[in-house]
Amino acid sequence: NLVEFFEIIKNLGPLGSEENWDEEDKILYLNCALKICKDVQIRTLLGNIATEIKSLKDFSHQTIAKKLEEKLLKRLNVKLLELEVKELIKRGLKDFDSLLKKIKADREDLERIYFKTMKQVIKD
C-alpha cells in the first residue's frame, strides 16, 4: 500500500537528521546511493535474486526479505562504504581516524577499504 509506505517514510524524518548530517553530507550520501543504483554488479545481483525467487515460486514477503538479506544487504553496505571512503578521500579527508568518526563504520571494515583505496590513490 503506497499510503502506508509514504507514512513510514514521513515518520523517518528528514534525511540525515538522526546522523546530524549537513547539506554536504546529504549530497555525498545521495550521490553514493545513486552510483550504487547504476552499478552493474549490484544490478546483476538483483537480477539473479529475482530469477532465484521466480524459480522458487515463492513470492512471499518473508522469502523476498530473506533472499535480499542473504545475498544483497552485505554487498550493498560494503559498496556504499567503498564509495563514501573514495569520495571523502577525494575531498581531502585522508586521515583514518577522521574517516572513522565521519562515516561511523565498523573499524575492521573501514580499515580494509581505506587501505585498499589509499593504495589506489597513491598509485594514481
In this prediction, residue 123 carries a pLDDT of 75
Residue 31 three-state SS: helix
Q: How confident is the model at residue 7 (pLDDT cuts 50, 70, 90)?
A: very high
CA torsion 100-104-109-111 (nearest 10°) is 0
pTM to 2 decimals? Answer: 0.79
Task: Identify whether 97 is part of a domain.
Answer: yes
- CB count in 10 Å sphere of residue 49: 16
Does the residue 112 lie in any domain? yes
- Distance of alpha carbon 4 from the chain centroid: 24
Average pLDDT in the chain: 92
Q: Which of 46, 38, 124, 49 is nearest to 89 (CA)?
A: 124
Q: How many domains does the chain have?
A: 1
Q: Domain range for residue 69?
A: 22-123
> What is the helix (H) or strand (E) element at residue 114, kind and residue range?
helix 107-123
30 occurs within a structural domain: yes
33-69 pLDDT tens trace: 999 999 999 999 999 999 999 999 999 999 999 999 9
pLDDT above 90: residue 27: yes
Residue 124 has pLDDT above 70, yes or no: no
16 belongs to a structural domain: no
